[in-house]
Amino acid sequence: MEAKVYNQKGEEVGKINLPEELFNVPWNADLVHQAAVSELANRRHSTAHTKGRGEVAGGGRKPWQQKGTGRARHGSIRSPIWVGGGVAHGPRKDKIYAKKINRQAKNRALLSLLSRKLRDNEIVFVDDISIERPKTKEAVLILNSLAQVAPYKGLQKKRAAAYIALPERRPAVSKSFRNIGKVYLDEVRNISPAGLLAYRYVIFAKPEETIKIINQRAKKKR
């Protein structure tokens, strides 16, 4: 499999051979959904928390005697039916939302998603993205230049979203793109199914290095 490689000015500078075991994987919607749901669930943190009758302060003494007052019997002012008492069946922060998925299944879902995006002309290979000093204007120029290439004209749309994968951390490039709301930039080692599903286009900088990292990750079984 071959794909065109462009520079950050949108000019074709060569081609790259893509491994079929990475970019020619059959589409598996169920597996991709399972991996995305698992990833989002593992990110979720339970913050809502209510106190039960055993956690609120006070209520050690019986409000009034059991009999003879004509009122209903009560054992504590911290009962859930009292104002200021504990909450019955409220949300608890100790709830765990995590869902387990095997590493091989997650990697397979990622490759299936990458293969689908390649077939839909939603992956752009750029020889390198280089910005000396953080400047949003230069980042916008790069996106506009890539949008001039026929398959990627959708990058010009206001709602078009792009996931940029770099082989290593580059502070100047990251700071240049972070003010663009529709773009997310990260190291390729952190790429995930849920992350790719949130963005239409995927831009690989230095494709030979990024693909090598993806290949190493795909071969890990544990």
Decide: residue 126, CB within 10 A, 0-12 exposed, 13-18 middle, 19+ buried.
buried
Q: What percent of the chain has pLDDT over 70?
A: 98
Query: Is residue 222 scored above 60 in pLDDT?
Result: no
Task: Give CA–CA dist 105/173, Å, rounded.
Answer: 32
Q: Are residues 39 and 52 in the same domain?
A: no
pLDDT of amino acid 221: 59
**Could you give the C-alpha distances from 70 to 62, 65, 66, 74, in angstroms and in order?**
16, 10, 10, 12
Q: What's the mean pLDDT when you consider all of the chain? A: 90
Mean pLDDT across 147-170: 83
Which of 96, 114, 134 is the endpoint of a domain?
96
pLDDT band with cut points at 50, 70 and 90 for residue 152: confident
CATH number for the domain including 160? 3.40.1370.10
pLDDT of amino acid 192: 92
pLDDT of amino acid 105: 92
Mean pLDDT across 143-167: 83
Give bridge partners of residue 187 from the DSSP assignment. Answer: 166
Q: Are residues 211 and 179 in the same domain?
A: yes
Query: Is residue 194 scored above 90 in pLDDT?
Result: yes
Which residues form the domain of 31?
Answer: 2-44+101-219
